[in-house]
Structure 1
Amino acid sequence: MHPFDAGKWGKVIGFLKEEQLITDDNIVEAREATEDDLLVVHTRRYLNKLKWSFVVATITEIPPLLLLPNFLVQRRVLRPLRTQTGGTIMAGKLAIDRGWAINVGGGFHHCSSDKGGGFCAYADITLAIKFLFERVEGVSKATIIDLDAHQGNGHERDFMDDKRVYIMDVYNRYIYPGDGFAKRAIKRKVELDWGTEDQEYLQKVEMHVEGALNEVKPDILVYNAGTDILDGDPLGGLAISPQVCRTTYPCHYRPVYLLPVIY
């Protein structure tokens, strides 16, 4: 009864294996992000707030969590999210080492350093980029291309005054979060109307991605994908076909709601 399918990541991996598109040799198992990892971006005050089940219930929009002791919330809800966050951090390093990497989980683009929301409890996109800036020589510029149907206000707030990060965001202007302050961080803003269809969507995405990559030459590109652009999605409000969703530039692989792809 919740619009966010918590089991989809396993289904995606299972499907890709069945279709022989990947094997175990292609997969690196994600490690849970530690508290020290999280403190690279998050305030201790925010992490302490996650020790209250009420706060986690509000962020994830799952009211029954209010009734659970926090040790169960940590184990059943937050630990999997921390593992996905660790996966995004790892994907950043793997992308530098191998040329590209995909984290099948993560993409928590509504979470910033001191505030979660929209199912997002940890700021994995911000963390991946800051880890690269701080710990990998030669990475000094990043571009975020966010094609989830919702505005990525979390990473936008985190990089508001950081000139090293260029943000392009394509989203339905009428849905959550409507964060006017965060929009100030978007260098290339593409606001869509209800029911935007294939031709208009593809034309705008291709034109603006090309413009973004011509404007800045990044050392790392973080692509946050979301199939909530699909026609009939209960939250996205757009009308994009599966065919266009699969072929949207710059990545030809968009099977899940939130999929950071780091080149």
Structure 2
Amino acid sequence: MRPVKKKRHSRPPYVTKLYFDIGPNQLPIIYRKEYNVHFVGLEKLHPFDASKWGHIFQYLKDALLIDENTVIKPNEASLDDLLLVHTVRYLKSLKWSWNVAMIAEIPPLAFIPNCMVQASYLKPMRFQTGGSILAGKLALERGWAINIGGGFHHCSKDRGGGFCPYADITLLIQFLFQHEQRRVKLAMIVDLDAHQGNGHEHDFTDHQNVYILDIYNGGIYPRDKKAKRGIRRGVPLPHLTEDREYLHQVETNLEKALSEFHPDIMVYNAGTDILDGDRLGLLAISPQGIIRRDELVFMKAHERRVPIVMLTSGGYLKQTARIIADSILNLFDKGLISGPTGK
């Protein structure tokens, strides 16, 4: 009598929890309080406002645009989610505090137990990454989405840096390519942070289905020559470029980019470190210039009916939260983003 073979229980197929439906009374503005970094005061050693995202939400809440019920609360990106892009080796490297300290540019983190680093820094970044990925889906459904966070454009699949531990831009696009194959075949990244977006540029070098427009200060970090191969239209700017020249470059080059390439989705990395006085961006754009820049980008996408995702990215002065909120309110006032479908 032959022994009965035991059935092997295969692992169930992976299903992401990052994509979910939202109600008609909700706006595709994504945020949760876990975005903010609180680490026994160490965050004060960093030039970044570690509560920037919470401040943006509060300003929008005070203006009655969104509230706790209408804002979208994303889920945390899981290991399986991150592995769509990131290498196992890179994710394992984040289990060592000194590696995270170099990425976050907070040297004292090297001496903190990794469990605390995970909970206080990397977990908020995973929630923001989840928010960016969800924003891609919601933009297809509503025409636009804004993640009050994300924009970690210095991180690639196998290397973090410049405060960026996860490659949320690459993940956002690859999720769409995988889960929305019929609707998204071509993607455009419009990176207007003051710094070159070397992370996603490394990831999408030689990918003809991703077009990268990057307008940045050419004299500051990261000066990544190899990553420039991934840029289809690059505009390095000199220090202290002001509104008139900057807005001319944005409008002219975005118009040319959209004439050369017809995307199914636009990912807009809307860094505010271009603000005059930001010592890391070293440009000289006024608050009104930032608001006009965002309006231009949304207007170009709206004219061509291209769904757009906005990520808030860099911005290292305390007043940037107010400027971002004012810009989002301006987009609403101009009809470039709309209210809940249930209204």
Could you say which TM-score interval applies, normalised by the shorter chain?
Answer: over 0.9
One-letter amino acid of the counterpart of residue 250, structure 1: V
Structure 2 residue corresponding to 1:173, chosen from 218, 221, 228 = 218
Q: Partner of 2:216: helix, strand, or coil?
A: strand
Structure 1 residue corresponding to 2:92, chosen from 48, 51, 66 = 48
| Alignment check: 8 A CA contact 1:9 1:256 kept | no
- Aligned: 1:104 with 2:176: no
Write the deviation string for residues 35-74 of structure 1: whole angstroms up to 9, x where unpaired.
0000000000000000000000000001111111111111
Write the deviation string for residues 145-179 of structure 1: whole angstroms up to 9, x where unpaired.
00000000000000002110000000000000000
| Alignment check: 8 A CA contact 1:245 1:254 kept | no
- Aligned: 1:32 with 2:76: yes
**In the aligned structure 2, how far is the partner of 1:96 from the partner of 1:62?**
37
Write the deviation string for residues 107-142 of structure 1: whole angstroms up to 9, x where unpaired.
000000000000000000000000000111221000
Structure 1 residue corresponding to 2:120, chosen from 68, 76, 79 = 76
**In the aligned structure 1, how far is the partner of 2:311 from the partner of 2:226?**
29
**In the aligned structure 2, how far is the partner of 1:112 from the partner of 1:36?**
17
| Alignment check: 8 A CA contact 1:12 1:256 kept | no
How do 1:116-131 and structure 2 match up within 5 A?
Answer: 116-131=160-175
Please state how far the C-alpha of 1:233 moved relative to its aligned partner: 0.4
Write the deviation string for residues 180-231 of structure 1: whole angstroms up to 9, x where unpaired.
0000110010110001001000001000011111111100000001110000
| Alignment check: 8 A CA contact 2:149 2:311 kept | no
Partner of 2:60: 16
Partner of 2:314: 257
In structure 2, the CA distance between the partners of 1:11 and 1:257, relative to structure 1 (3 Å rule), is same
| Alignment check: 8 A CA contact 1:8 1:256 kept | no
Structure 1 residue corresponding to 2:199, chosen from 154, 159, 162 = 154
- Aligned: 1:113 with 2:160: no
Partner of 2:47: 3
Please state how far the C-alpha of 1:4 moved relative to its aligned partner: 1.1
How do 1:165-244 and structure 2 match up within 5 A?
Answer: 165-244=210-289
For normalisation by structure 1, the TM-score amounts to 0.95
Q: Partner of 2:266: helix, strand, or coil?
A: strand
Q: Percent identity?
A: 58
Is there any run of 5+ residues in structure 2 with no aligned partner, and where? 1-44, 300-309, 316-323, 329-336, 338-343
In structure 2, the CA distance between the partners of 1:48 and 1:255, relative to structure 1 (3 Å rule), is closer
**In the aligned structure 2, how far is the partner of 1:198 from the partner of 1:152?**
21
**In the aligned structure 2, how far is the partner of 1:162 from the partner of 1:216?**
13
**In the aligned structure 2, how far is the partner of 1:204 from the partner of 1:223?**
16
**In the aligned structure 1, how far is the partner of 2:205 from the partner of 2:312?**
29
CA RMSD in angstroms, aligned pairs only: 1.8
| Alignment check: 8 A CA contact 1:60 1:120 kept | yes
Structure having the higher Rg: 2
| Alignment check: 8 A CA contact 1:156 1:186 kept | yes
One-letter amino acid of the counterpart of residue 233, structure 1: D
Comparing 21-30 with 218-227, which one deviates more in the overlay? 21-30
| Alignment check: 8 A CA contact 2:154 2:160 kept | yes
Please state how far the C-alpha of 1:247 moved relative to its aligned partner: 1.1
One-letter amino acid of the counterpart of residue 236, structure 1: G
In structure 2, the CA distance between the partners of 1:163 and 1:121, relative to structure 1 (3 Å rule), is same
| Alignment check: 8 A CA contact 2:198 2:227 kept | yes
Q: Partner of 1:190: helix, strand, or coil?
A: strand
Please state how far the C-alpha of 1:257 moved relative to its aligned partner: 3.1
How do 1:89-100 and structure 2 match up within 5 A?
Answer: 89-100=133-144
Comparing 174-183 with 12-21, which one deviates more in the overlay? 12-21
**In the aligned structure 2, how far is the partner of 1:130 from the partner of 1:225?**
20
